[in-house]
Amino acid sequence: MLKKVLLLAVGALVALPTAAAAQDYAPGGNTITADDTTVAPGEAIVLGIQICQPSTSASFELDSTTGLGTATAASNGRATLTATIPSNTSPGSHSIEGSCMGSNGQPLVQVLSITVGAAGSGIARTGSSSTLPMTQIAIAAIAGGGLLVLMANRRRTAQADARETADV
């Protein structure tokens, strides 16, 4: 059983770097990506462009008029930028243009369509992101269950002792 678990763990460790490397370049080559293509004004968005020459600058613009920022391409040719959609951006369809010096030495320009929603149009957030209260309740329930098992076990032992004494 232990050998199977170890083999499974080693297999997972070998597969992880392969999966991460496969995500660096999408099939079809030159691409610009975003972590979310539906955003609200003032919201951050993570943009990436690939197949750039390493150590060159990549720039990102909203609707070819508003600069979102620049990033430097890593050794794998991917440049990533966390940008904020301007708060005065009107709701609707917009384009983000990413440009850099391509790996072939020619200028590379890619365009991504995004949708900007109305400010505050997201679903209302309720509750808490803290798991501490539920963790405390779970630990208390486990401790309470363990205490009940101990008490039941003692009661059984006491009853068995009482029967043995009565039989003698």
Is residue 98 domain-shared with residue 163, that is, in the same domain? no
Instruction: Give the pLDDT confidence score for residue 85 in this predicted structure.
Output: 93
Shared-domain flag, residues 65 and 135: no
Least confident of 86-90, 99-103, 109-113, 131-135: 131-135
Of 26-30, 67-71, 74-78, 161-165, the range with the lowest mean pLDDT is 26-30
Average pLDDT over every residue of 128-137: 78
Residue-level pLDDT at 101: 92
Q: Is residue 18 part of a domain?
A: no
What pLDDT was estimated at residue 7?
Answer: 46
- Say if residue 134 is in the same domain as residue 112: no
Work out the percent of the chain whose per-residue pLDDT is above 90.
40
DSSP secondary structure letters along 52-108: BPTT-EEEEEETTTEEEEEEE--TTS-EEEEEE--TTPPSEEEEEEEEEEBTTSSEE
Structure tokens at 22: 């496969």
CATH code, 45:
2.60.40.10
Residue 119 DSSP class: T
Structure confidence by residue, pLDDT tens digits, 135-154 = 888 898 898 888 888 888 88
**Span 30-61, pLDDT tens digits:** 578 999 889 999 999 999 998 899 999 999 99
96 shares its domain with 140: no
Residue 70 to residue 155: CA distance in whole angstroms: 72
The structural domain count of the chain equals 2
Q: Give a yes or no: residue 7 inside a domain.
A: no
Q: Are residues 31 and 86 in the same domain?
A: yes
Evaluate if residue 22 carries a pLDDT over 50.
Answer: no
Note whether 110 and 146 are same-domain residues: no
Could you list the residue range(s) of the whole structural domain that residue 103 is in?
Answer: 24-116
- Residues 98 and 31 grouped into a single domain: yes
Parallel, antiparallel or unpaired: strands 38-39 and 66-72? unpaired
Q: Is residue 139 domain-shared with residue 92, that is, in the same domain?
A: no
> Does residue 16 sit within a domain?
no
User: Given this model, what pLDDT does residue 4 score?
Assistant: 52
Residues 133 and 112 in one domain: no
Longest dimension (CA), the chain: 100
User: Is the pLDDT score of 108 beyond 70?
Assistant: yes
What's the pLDDT band for 23 if we cut at 50, 70, 90? very low
Closest CA to 115 of 130, 93, 136: 93
**Nearest-CA neighbor of 78 among 44, 109, 112, 55?**
55
Q: How far apart are CA 8 and CA 14, in angstroms?
A: 10
